[in-house]
């Protein structure tokens, strides 16, 4: 557990063996602002520095609107920072099949079938048409949507759409996975299943994962490192000292887990309730 002051460069704050390997993803003093309708601009990322090693599973948590999605879009090279640099394996990030992105709003192609949506992500890969279909079907099976392969997104429930988006990102078998609240619309059990499948994949192929979640428990269950953000800043980068495989039931009684969970919980609570910059400054958490 390594709480850091906000904004401190943290290039060496990752795991112990950083020096031996080139970090996969590096943010260096990144700023990004968006124009607001009143002419002012909102700082979505403020002086963000972060270094993520290869094969790490990193969870990003923070209050609503703190810049998590923006962080992921910049990491993928979809938008450019206003200042500062981002690099993936030493190069500026380029979107492509090496990186899978699960978008918060799913972003399914409405006129493509479920299968077509997954296959779409595979077309950049060097696969024959039938290999592509097989691969897409494999991942549809994984998210439990085999029976819906020929349906259109408009015919799916919210959770089913999210699973299509998940299958699409996983099917490319990328080296880096950027996942923006990928399980938010899933019921608890399906979510658990998906967590397990994700860990399976991660164990097998060891992609670097940047995983935005609203669940502290989920973050602690899945991640090597938890990044805590607020109003565009990285407040803490915390290594999770729990042994794998982890079971949530078991973890809940683990003292490290409890300490960490309470720490994060209290930190976010403070950010939401007692930070004057928060919209909920001064609100009470009592009924």
Ligand X SMILES: Nc1ncnc2c1ncn2[C@@H]1O[C@H](COP(=O)(O)OP(=O)(O)OP(=O)(O)O)[C@@H](O)[C@H]1O
Give Cβ neighbours of residue 195 (< 8 Å, ≥ 6 apart). Answer: 183, 218, 221, 222
Q: What residues numbered 211-240 form the site for a second copy, per CB under 8 A?
A: 214-216
Of 186 and 251, the one with the shorter C-beta distance to ligand X is 186
Check binding of 168 to another protein (CB under 8 A).
yes
| Residue span binding another protein (CB under 8 A) among the ranges 54-62, 90-98, 225-233, 250-258 | 90-98
| Residue span binding a second copy (CB under 8 A) among the ranges 1-9, 90-98, 166-174, 275-283 | 275-283
- Over the window 69 to 88, marking each residue x when it contacts ligand X by CB under 6 A and - when it does not, the resulting string is xx------------------
Of 134 and 187, the one with the shorter C-beta distance to a second copy is 187
Q: Which of 143, 173, 136 is nearest to 160 (CA)?
A: 143
- Over the window 169 to 208, marking each residue x when it contacts another protein by CB under 8 A and - when it does not, the resulting string is ---x------------------------------------
Q: Is 179 exposed, middle or buried (0-12, 13-18, 19+ CB in 10 A)?
A: buried
Sheet holding 208-212, edge to edge: 99-102, 176-180, 208-212, 57-61, 225-230, 233-239
Q: Residue 59 has which token pair?
A: 């969870």
Q: Is residue 62 reached through a cis peptide bond, with omega within 30 degrees of 0 on the bond before it?
A: no
Question: What's the min distance (Å) between Cβ of 95 and another protein?
Answer: 5
DSSP 3-state of 264? helix
Question: Angle formed by the axes of helices 158-171 and 129-142, to 10°?
Answer: 130
172 binds, among Mg ion, another protein, a second copy, none (CB under 5 to 8 A by kind): another protein
CA distance 86 to 89: 10
Of 112 and 184, the one with the shorter C-beta distance to another protein is 112
- Over the window 93 to 112, marking each residue x when it contacts ligand X by CB under 6 A and - when it does not, the resulting string is -----------x--------
CA distance 236 to 113: 42
Q: Is 98 exposed, middle or buried (0-12, 13-18, 19+ CB in 10 A)?
A: middle
Using CB under 6 A, which of 83, 85, 155, 274 touches ligand X?
Answer: 155
DSSP 3-state of 226? strand
Of 101 and 139, the one with the shorter C-beta distance to another protein is 101
Of 146 and 155, the one with the shorter C-beta distance to another protein is 155
Of 78 and 193, the one with the shorter C-beta distance to another protein is 78
DSSP 3-state of 257? helix
CA distance 11 to 32: 20
Contacts to another protein by CB under 8 A = 35, 37, 73, 76, 78, 95-101, 103, 105, 107, 109-112, 120-121, 123-124, 152, 154, 168, 172
Contacts to a second copy by CB under 8 A = 34, 36-38, 42, 61-65, 68-69, 104-105, 113, 144-147, 150-152, 155-160, 163, 180-181, 184-193, 196, 199-200, 203, 214-216, 244-247, 265, 268-269, 271-273, 278-280, 283-287
């Amino acid at each position: 557990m390594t709480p850091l002051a906000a904004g401190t460069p943290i290039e060496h704050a990752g795991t112990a063996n950083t020096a031996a390997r080139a970090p996969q993803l590096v943010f260096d003093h990144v700023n990004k602002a968006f124009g607001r309708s009143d002419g002012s601009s909102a700082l979505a990322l403020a002086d963000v520095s972060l270094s993520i090693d290869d094969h790490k599973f990193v969870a990003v948590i923070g209050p609503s609107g703190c810049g998590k999605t923006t962080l992921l879009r910049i990491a993928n090279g979809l938008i450019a920072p206003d200042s500062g640099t981002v690099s993936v394996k030493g190069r500026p990030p380029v979107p492509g099949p090496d990186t899978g992105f699960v978008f918060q709003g799913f972003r399914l192609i409405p006129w493509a079938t479920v299968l077509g949506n997954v296959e779409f992500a595979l077309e950049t890969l060097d696969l024959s048409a039938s290999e592509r279909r097989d691969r897409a079907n494999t991942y549809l099976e994984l998210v439990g949507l085999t029976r819906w392969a020929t349906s259109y997104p408009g015919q799916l429930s919210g959770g089913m759409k999210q699973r299509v988006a998940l299958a699409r990102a996983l099917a490319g078998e990328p080296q880096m996975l950027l996942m923006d609240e990928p399980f938010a619309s899933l019921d608890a059990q399906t979510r658990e299943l998906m967590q397990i499948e994700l860990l399976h994949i991660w164990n097998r192929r060891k992609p670097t994962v940047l995983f935005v979640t609203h669940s502290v428990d989920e973050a602690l269950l899945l991640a090597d490192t938890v990044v805590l953000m607020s109003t565009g800043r990285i407040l803490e980068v915390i290594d999770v000292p729990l042994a794998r495989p982890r079971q949530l039931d078991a973890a809940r009684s683990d003292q490290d887990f409890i300490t960490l969970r309470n720490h994060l919980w209290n930190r976010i609570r403070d950010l939401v309730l007692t930070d004057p910059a928060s919209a909920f400054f001064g609100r009470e958490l009592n009924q």
